[in-house]
Amino acid sequence: MSNGLERFGQQLRGYLRTLPREMGKAVVAESADNFRRQGFENDAGAVVPWAPRKAADTVKRRGKRVANPRQRALLVKSGRLRRSVRIVATTATTVTVGSPEAYAQAQQEGNAKLPARPFITLGRAAKDKLVKKISAGIVGLLK
């Protein structure tokens, strides 16, 4: 009996070690979805669109005319920010997801001149999917 319990404990510890990375992967995938849907999913499951560009920003940008920027997706000019979201660090119990881009924090949180456009989030559907995956993993260990 104790051998089976010890084996289960080892399997559970091994599984729990993989969870932070799995959760990080879910956040990175959700971030890509946020760029596709041009907004983020809140805890109620509704998509909250990012704030639109100001009208002044659509005509001139630093003295240069821009070719109809309203048609271009928000937060995507070169795609650098979208591609930069990754798992930055993991420990046994935590994961940190972020972007090394200097302007990422301003876009995520907003500032005096820029509205917040949260792109690193974990929406309700993604949370539910992650909970089901974790539950299935633990149930699989019990079999």
**pTM of the model as a whole:** 0.81
Asked whether the beta carbons of 81 and 104 are under 8 A apart, the reply is yes
CA atoms within 13 A on the CB side of 130: 19
The pLDDT value recorded for residue 120 is 95
The pLDDT value recorded for residue 56 is 56
d(CA 124, CA 115): 23
The pLDDT value recorded for residue 143 is 78
- The domain segmentation of the chain, as residue ranges, is 2-142
pLDDT along the chain (143 residues), means of 10: 83 91 95 94 92 66 58 80 95 94 94 93 92 91 83
The pLDDT value recorded for residue 76 is 79
Contacts with 105 (C-beta within 8 Å, 6 or more apart), sequence order: none
Asked whether the beta carbons of 37 and 50 are under 8 A apart, the reply is no
The pLDDT value recorded for residue 59 is 52
Q: Which two tokens stand for residue 67?
A: 């070719």
The pLDDT value recorded for residue 74 is 81
